[in-house]
């Protein structure tokens, strides 16, 4: 299966709840870490970015005849026996940060400086669809058309390729930046100088980390639909 990524990140929505942030009283040093943790934890699940990715999935399915002649295997491509499909899909990804397990270990304080170590971001597929009106099939007379089940299976493979490219899409970095837009004003209210506030992930994520960052339970990617 071949695939061409045709459009990345057509929208970025800030789906941010109102996290509670109390006014600073007596400066940052007077706010104990436990109180800070409780206020950050009130953010609960913080959705920070949304991407819509359009992908063109190309499937080439030639007909082969395989066997053995005089104990020698052969594999012959049959002329006029090809099938090809072009399947446009759209996948909506959302990134969120779950603060429910946020604790004192996520807060580093030193000489008026504070570092907030964000929990690992999570990425969920909230919608996947095939644009059935734009699906194209090129089928030889000797072959039958692709079934709906086959097209859906190809579309799911395309979705998996999109998920594998999550680090390159920039959605994880955007999750961090948008979380900072929520947390920094809260910390300023608590008395911290904005110049002394750092919001960071524990590491830079790569493709190898993607399986650990995906929220499969919340995925709607299995529900391909005609719209």
Per-residue pLDDT of 193-202, as tens digits, reads 889 988 888 8
Beta strands in 80-178, from DSSP E residues, in sequence order? 83-98, 107-110, 113-117, 122-130, 136-139
pLDDT at 224 > cutoff 70: no
pTM, full prediction: 0.70
C-beta of residue 61 within 8 angstroms of C-beta of residue 82: yes
Give the least confident one: 20-29, 105-114, 136-145, 164-173. 20-29
Residue 46 is predicted with a pLDDT of: 84
Q: How far is CA 219 from CA 60, 137, 161, 214, in A?
A: 28, 28, 15, 9
Residues 79-122 pLDDT 10s:
666 788 889 999 999 889 888 888 888 888 887 788 889 888 88
The per-residue pLDDT for 4 is 52
Comparing CA positions, the residue from 102, 94, 100, 93 lying closest to residue 202 is: 102
Identify the H or E element spanning 171.
helix 171-189
Question: In this prediction, what percent of the chain has a pLDDT beyond 90?
Answer: 1
Q: What is the mean pLDDT of residues 19-28?
A: 53
Query: Tokens 């005089």 sit at which residue?
Result: 70
Instruction: Provide DSSP, 186-197.
Output: HHHHTT--GGGE
For residue 139, the cross-strand partners are 83
């Amino acid at each position: 299966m071949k695939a061409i990524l045709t459009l990345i990140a057509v929208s970025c929505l800030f789906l941010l709840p109102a996290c509670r942030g109390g006014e600073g009283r007596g400066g940052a040093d007077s706010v104990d870490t436990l109180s800070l943790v409780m206020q950050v934890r009130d953010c609960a699940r913080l959705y920070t970015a949304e991407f819509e990715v359009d992908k063109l999935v190309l499937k080439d399915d030639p007909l082969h005849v395989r066997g053995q002649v005089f104990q020698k295997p052969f594999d012959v491509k049959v002329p006029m026996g090809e099938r090809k499909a072009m399947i446009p899909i759209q996948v909506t990804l959302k990134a969120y940060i779950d603060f429910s397990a946020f604790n004192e270990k996520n807060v580093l304080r030193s000489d008026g400086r504070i570092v907030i170590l964000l929990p690992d971001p999570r990425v969920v597929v909230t919608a996947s669809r095939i644009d059935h009106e734009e699906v194209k099939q090129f089928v030889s007379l000797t072959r039958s058309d692709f079934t709906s089940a086959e097209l859906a299976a190809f579309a799911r493979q395309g979705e998996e390729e999109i998920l594998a490219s999550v680090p390159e899409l920039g959605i994880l970095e955007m999750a961090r930046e948008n979380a900072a837009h929520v947390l920094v004003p809260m910390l300023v209210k608590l008395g911290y100088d904005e110049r002394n506030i750092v919001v960071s992930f524990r590491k830079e994520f790569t493709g190898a980390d993607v399986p650990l960052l995906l929220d499969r339970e919340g995925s709607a990617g299995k529900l391909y639909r005609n719209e």
